[in-house]
C-alpha cells in the first residue's frame, strides 16, 4: 500500500517538529556584536554567502564598528574591504549613507521600527525583517531564496514572489515560531534541500511530506 501525501496541516506540524528536533537553538549565521554590525552584515549578505561576509567583516569592524565612525570613512575605504562580497560600489555607498542618516536622524541608534529601517539606503524588507527579528526579538519571517524554494517544495506557498511566500508562511505557522523557524529552514535548506541537491523528492522532509511525488518539482525563483 502506497503512503499518502500529507495534508497541508500535517505537513506544517511535521515540519515544525522535525526542524525543532534538528535545530533546537539555531545560531544567527552572520557574525555581529550589536544591531549596527548586524545591519551592515545583512546588507553585505545580499547575493553573497554568509561565510564570505564573515571573512570580510572583521577588517571592516577594525575600520569602523559603529555608525559615527563609519560615517567618517570614505566610500573608497569601505569598498576596498567589502569588495569580495560583490556589488561593492552600491553596498559601500549604502553603508556610508545609512551611517550618516543614523547619526543625523536617529542619534546613532538603529530604529526599532521596520518602516524606518526600510527607509535606510540599501535596506530592503528582508534586511529590515532580519534586523527586527535577530536584533530586537520582534516576530518577523524574512524570506530568502532558500525559504522561498522550500516553501514551494513543501507545498506551503505558490512561489509567485517572496512577498506572497512570507504572507503564506506567516498564516500557516504560529507567530512565536517565526524567528527560529526562518533560521531553521535556512540551515535545513543548505544542508539537506539545496537547489541542486534535492528536487522535491530526495531529502528527508520532502520525501515524507510527498511520498507519492515521483517527478522533480520545478520551483519559481525569488
Residues classed as catalytic: 126, 144
CA-nearest of 27, 34, 24, 26 to 131 is: 34
Please give the Cα distance from 85 to 140 (Å, whole number): 26
Please give the Cα distance from 56 to 143 (Å, whole number): 24
CA-nearest of 110, 105, 104, 107 to 40 is: 110
Q: Packing angle between helix 178-191 and helix 8-22, nearest 10 degrees? A: 80
What are the b/e assignments for 114-131, b being 16+ CB within 10 Å?
Answer: beebeebbbbebbbbbbb
Please give the Cα distance from 3 to 6 (Å, whole number): 9
Q: What DSSP letter does each residue of 116-178 carry, written as one string?
A: HHHTSTT--HHHHHHHHHHTT--------HHHHHHHHHTTS---S-HHHHHHHHHHHS-GGGH
Amino acid at each position: 500500500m502506497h503512503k499518502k501525501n500529507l495534508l497541508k496541516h500535517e505537513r506544517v506540524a511535521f515540519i515544525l517538529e522535525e526542524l525543532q528536533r534538528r535545530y533546537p537553538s539555531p545560531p544567527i549565521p552572520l557574525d555581529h556584536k550589536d544591531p549596527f554590525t548586524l545591519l551592515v552584515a545583512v546588507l553585505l549578505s545580499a547575493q553573497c554567502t554568509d561565510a564570505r561576509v564573515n571573512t570580510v567583516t572583521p577588517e571592516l569592524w577594525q575600520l569602523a564598528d559603529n555608525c559615527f565612525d563609519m560615517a567618517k570613512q570614505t566610500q573608497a575605504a569601505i569598498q576596498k574591504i567589502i569588495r569580495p562580497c560583490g556589488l561593492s560600489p552600491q553596498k559601500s555607498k549604502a553603508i556610508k549613507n545609512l551611517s550618516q542618516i543614523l547619526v543625523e536622524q536617529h542619534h546613532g541608534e538603529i530604529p526599532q521600527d521596520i518602516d524606518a529601517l526600510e527607509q535606510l539606503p540599501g535596506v530592503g524588507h528582508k534586511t529590515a525583517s532580519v534586523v527586527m527579528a535577530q536584533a530586537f526579538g520582534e516576530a518577523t519571517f524574512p524570506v530568502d531564496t532558500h525559504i522561498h524554494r522550500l516553501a514551494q517544495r513543501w507545498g506551503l506557498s505558490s512561489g509567485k514572489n517572496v512577498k506572497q511566500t512570507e504572507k503564506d508562511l506567516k498564516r500557516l505557522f504560529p507567530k512565536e515560531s517565526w524567528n527560529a523557524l526562518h533560521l531553521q529552514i535556512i540551515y535545513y535548506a543548505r544542508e539537506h534541500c539545496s537547489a541542486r541537491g534535492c528536487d522535491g523528492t530526495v531529502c528527508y522532509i520532502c520525501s515524507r511530506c510527498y511520498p507519492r511525488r515521483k517527478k522533480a518539482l520545478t520551483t519559481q525563483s525569488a
